[in-house]
């Protein structure tokens, strides 16, 4: 097997394990809501294990670098999502009259720009002593710094839709 094929496989493994991680966490929330405590624990335990697999693949791909380089990589992937991925998704959804999908894609596109700005701005935090919490909109993924807004600027969700991540 050539190195090139292995690199491709590492990328596929990273993507698949990352997907399983997110999905298992969501399945755990559903299990909790349905009162299946043990199944919730199982989904969370396997999610944690998938994150080990994802991390191993990412490390082997050489994508775990210094914070300064990671900020740059994170900035670039947000811009790529905003400029290269979501516009086509939105167009396609509109052409198929899938308005709910078009809405979540366009909100995501707008939020990606915000994420990119935060990464760019965060380069300052590398030199400053200041520490601030973030607040994430659980409807559209908008991220506010320091405090939650009264209304989400992207989806208009109320303040209580924001979850503090510190």
Binding mask 87-126 for Fe ion (x = CB under 5 A): -------------------------x--x-----------
Any contact of residue 31 with Fe ion (CB under 5 A)? no
DSSP symbol at 159: G
**Burial status of residue 68 (CB atoms within 10 A of its CB: 0-12, 13-18, 19 or more):** exposed
Q: Return all residues near 47 (Cβ < 8 A) that are at least 6 apart.
A: 20, 21, 24, 25, 28
- Residues 90, 105: contact at Cβ < 8 Å? yes
CB of 67 to Fe ion, least distance (A): 18
Taking CB atoms within 8 Å and a gap of at least 24, the contacts of 66-70 are: 67/126, 68/123, 68/126
Any contact of residue 152 with Fe ion (CB under 5 A)? yes
**Residue from 139, 143, 149, 159 in contact with Fe ion (CB under 5 A):** 139
CB of 20 to Fe ion, least distance (A): 20
Any contact of residue 43 with Fe ion (CB under 5 A)? no
Q: 54 or 157: whose CB is closer to Fe ion?
A: 157
- Residues 53, 90: contact at Cβ < 8 Å? no
Candidate ranges 18-26, 27-35, 89-97, 157-165; the one touching Fe ion (CB under 5 A): 157-165
Binding site for Fe ion (CB under 5 A): 78, 112, 115, 137, 139-140, 142, 152, 154-155, 157
């Amino acid at each position: 097997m050539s190195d090139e094929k292995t690199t491709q496989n590492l990328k596929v493994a990273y993507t698949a394990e990352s997907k399983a991680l997110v999905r298992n966490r969501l399945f755990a929330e559903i299990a909790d809501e349905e009162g299946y405590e043990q199944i919730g624990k199982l989904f969370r335990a396997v999610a944690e294990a998938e994150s080990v697999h994802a991390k191993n693949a990412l490390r082997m791909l050489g994508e775990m670098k210094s914070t300064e380089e990671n900020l740059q990589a994170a900035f670039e992937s947000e811009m790529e999502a905003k400029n290269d991925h979501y516009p086509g998704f939105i167009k396609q959804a509109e052409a198929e009259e899938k308005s709910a999908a078009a809405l979540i894609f366009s909100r995501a596109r707008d939020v990606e720009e915000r994420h990119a700005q935060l990464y760019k701005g965060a380069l300052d935090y590398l030199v400053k002593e200041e520490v601030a919490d973030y607040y994430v909109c659980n409807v559209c993924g908008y991220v506010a710094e320091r405090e939650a807004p009264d209304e989400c600027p992207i989806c208009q969700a109320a303040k209580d839709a924001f979850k503090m991540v510190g």
